[in-house]
């Protein structure tokens, strides 16, 4: 098992990890980034921001949505749009952006190690990958693992019940869809599916939509949603999702039921993935995947009066479950 020594180890190659690694490298530090090769660019590139925005543009282009003011509301660039039509454009962008990120990291002298990491000591990590294991030591560690879709036990994923990361894995475009959660991700995908002609119902426990956004923006969004076929329902309490008889659905108090559930909540990307354990560092991982316990691991921009006994560990924000 080979050993390497660096000034900074970055776990995760998403936007936060990239910026941290390159900034340190430009200051003359020896930097290593640990992530699976197929996930270079992180969730943002492979499941989140880049795929969703590319999918949005593909939907608007193929449906002719932007040209309907001139050609009429029934105008379509392509009459029968398939998942393959949409994912071809998404995959092309992802491949190109992956190459750009790898070239940028190499140009700045950032070492890339293919694999997953776990702590074996305060400054030591073991990397497990396709090749033989490696031991990496560093003065500082930046934990930038990102998030993944939450899978509550009461939701039977599979057979038509999917999360936000599985959109591109569907075999066909459904006739109708239930989106559970009226947050940014839920409304984004609900709007796209509505443009494709899918009957979409958005269900959320909160009475106000996007309560953290300026109310004038929310009012404008609500107005435009009201002009589409998208329906929004408020559920007093989330009950369950069912999958059976070829018609997945959601059971929610005070809400309609539909054919397909689409949960969209997210959780920190820690348990069983890139960061296997945090034992011995005064941290524990709770049921949501967020790191709890004393604030021994500080964010990159820590709030005032935060205790940080282990000053060599940093994280961009998702590590402890707080929003960015």
- Residue 247 and residue 276 in one domain: no
- Residue 260 and residue 274 in one domain: no
- Residue 176 and residue 232 in one domain: yes
Q: Are 186 and 202 in contact (CB under 8 A)?
A: yes
Distance separating alpha carbons of residues 257 and 65, to the nearest angstrom: 28
CA 21 to chain centre: 20
Assign residue 305 a region: left if phi > 0, alpha if psi is -120 to 50, beta otherwise? left
Residue where a domain terminates, one of 264, 282, 304: 264
* pLDDT recorded at residue 284: 39
How many CB atoms lie under 10 A from the CB of residue 89?
17
Q: Please write the tens of the pLDDT for every residue from 156-204.
A: 887 788 888 888 788 888 888 888 888 888 899 999 999 898 999 888 8
* pLDDT recorded at residue 280: 39
Determine the average pLDDT of the residues in 126-140.
85
- Residue 282 and residue 163 in one domain: no
Residue of 138, 188, 122 lying closest to 29 (CA atoms): 138
Distance separating alpha carbons of residues 223 and 209, to the nearest angstrom: 12
Residue where a domain terminates, one of 222, 242, 264: 264
Q: Are 147 and 14 in contact (CB under 8 A)?
A: no
Q: Are 241 and 257 in contact (CB under 8 A)?
A: no
pTM of the model: 0.76
Residue with tokens 């998702």: 318
The CATH number that applies at residue 66 is 3.50.50.60
- Residue 157 and residue 126 in one domain: no
- Residue 235 and residue 120 in one domain: no
* pLDDT recorded at residue 186: 87
- Domains in the chain: how many in total? 2
- Residue 23 and residue 113 in one domain: yes
Q: Please write the tens of the pLDDT for every residue from 35-66.
A: 998 999 998 899 888 999 999 999 999 998 88
* Mean pLDDT value across the chain: 77
The angle subtended at Cα 49 by Cα 47 and Cα 55, nearest 5°, is 80
Per the structure block, which two tokens stand in for 250? 């959601």
Q: Are 40 and 63 in contact (CB under 8 A)?
A: no
Return phi, psi of residue 188, to 5°.
Answer: -60, -50
Which range of residues forms the domain containing residue 212?
A: 151-264
Residue with tokens 């400054």: 123
Fill in the DSSP letter of residue 103: H
Least confidently predicted of 148-152, 210-214, 261-265: 261-265
- Residue 296 and residue 194 in one domain: no
- Residue 46 and residue 68 in one domain: yes
- Residue 34 and residue 125 in one domain: yes
- Residue 66 and residue 211 in one domain: no
Q: Please write the tens of the pLDDT for every residue from 144-156.
A: 887 777 777 777 8
- Residue 52 and residue 129 in one domain: yes
pLDDT at position 308 over 80: no
Residue where a domain terminates, one of 264, 280, 295: 264
Distance separating alpha carbons of residues 288 and 139, to the nearest angstrom: 30
Fill in the DSSP letter of residue 286: -
Determine the average pLDDT of the residues in 78-82.
86
Distance separating alpha carbons of residues 15 and 311, to the nearest angstrom: 22
């Amino acid at each position: 098992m080979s050993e390497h020594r660096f000034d900074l180890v970055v776990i995760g190659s998403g936007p936060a990890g990239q910026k941290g690694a390159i900034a340190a490298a430009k200051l003359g530090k020896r930097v290593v980034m640990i992530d699976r090769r197929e996930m270079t660019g992180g969730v943002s590139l492979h499941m989140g921001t880049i795929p969703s925005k590319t999918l949005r543009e593909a939907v608007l282009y193929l449906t002719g949505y932007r040209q309907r003011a001139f050609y009429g509301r029934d105008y379509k660039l392509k009459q029968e749009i398939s998942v393959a039509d949409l994912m071809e454009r998404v995959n092309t962008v992802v491949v190109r952006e992956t190459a750009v990120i790898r070239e940028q990291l190499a140009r700045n002298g950032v070492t890339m190690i293919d694999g997953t990491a776990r702590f074996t000591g305060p400054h030591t990590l073991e990397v497990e990958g396709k090749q033989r294991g490696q031991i990496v030591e560093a003065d500082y560690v930046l934990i930038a693992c990102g998030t993944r879709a939450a899978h509550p036990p009461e939701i039977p994923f599979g057979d038509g019940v999917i999360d936000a990361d599985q959109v591109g894995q569907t075999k066909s475009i459904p006739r109708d869809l239930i989106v559970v959660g009226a947050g940014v991700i839920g409304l984004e995908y609900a709007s796209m599916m509505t443009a494709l002609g899918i009957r979409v119902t958005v269900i959320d426990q909160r009475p106000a939509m996007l309560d953290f956004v300026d109310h004038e923006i929310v009012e404008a969004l609500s107005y435009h949603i009201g002009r589409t076929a998208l329906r929004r329902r408020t559920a007093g309490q989330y009950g369950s999702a069912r999958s059976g008889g070829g018609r997945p659905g959601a059971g929610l108090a005070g809400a309609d039921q539909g054919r397909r559930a689409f949960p969209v909540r997210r959780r920190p990307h820690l348990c069983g993935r890139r960061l296997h354990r945090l034992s011995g560092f005064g941290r524990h991982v709770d049921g949501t995947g967020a790191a709890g316990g004393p604030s021994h691991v500080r964010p990159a921009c820590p709030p005032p009066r935060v205790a940080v006994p282990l000053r060599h560990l940093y994280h961009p924000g998702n590590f402890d479950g707080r929003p960015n």
